[in-house]
Amino acid sequence: MDKSSIAESTQSLSENARALIQKAALGVAAALSAVAFLFCTNFLFAKTYLVFAMRSRAFFLVSSFIVIMGFSVIVALLLRYVAPDAAGSGIPQLKTAYWKEMGYVDIRGVVVKFISGVVSIAGG
């Protein structure tokens, strides 16, 4: 089903029904993104620290230090050069977008916020 056929099929619905469907779809998308965030964080943690824990203590310490430093550099580069507006908690940016830009948030900032959040949390 393409975008135009979806738009045509919803034209027969009332405005309240269309708004309800839109809000439900956004809620499902938000829930799926939260699940994806948790899945990615656990996956990255399992591929680093849990693998390191199966080796010697010295290997774990050195590898953990390298991962923490490497992931910190990755996050810093993402937030510095790719999407500087993704830095911080994001709450002030969302409030500004809601009040000044009709709720529009740049997708680049959202993707970088997601990736940098996963990398920073899973990386320790």
Tell me: the pLDDT tens digits for 13-30?
A: 888 888 898 899 999 999
SS3 70: helix
Q: What is the pLDDT of residue 3?
A: 62
Q: What is the pLDDT of residue 104?
A: 80
User: Considering the domain boundaries, does residue 48 fall inside one?
Assistant: yes
User: Considering the domain boundaries, does residue 22 fall inside one?
Assistant: no
Q: What is the pLDDT of residue 7?
A: 65
Q: What is the pLDDT of residue 103?
A: 74
Place of tokens 């911080």: 88
User: Considering the domain boundaries, does residue 3 fall inside one?
Assistant: no
Q: What is the pLDDT of residue 106?
A: 81
Q: CA–CA separation, 24 vs 78, rounded Å? A: 32
Query: What range defines the domain where residue 80 resides?
Result: 36-122
Q: CA–CA separation, 53 vs 28, rounded Å? A: 36
Give the chain's domain count. 1
Q: What is the pLDDT of residue 77?
A: 94
User: Considering the domain boundaries, does residue 53 fall inside one?
Assistant: yes
User: Considering the domain boundaries, does residue 114 fall inside one?
Assistant: yes
Positions in the chain short of pLDDT 70: 1-7
- Provide the whole-model pTM: 0.78
Q: What is the DSSP letter of 89?
A: -
Q: What is the largest CA-CA distance in the chain?
A: 66
Q: CA–CA separation, 30 vs 102, rounded Å? A: 19
Q: CA–CA separation, 41 vs 123, rounded Å? A: 9
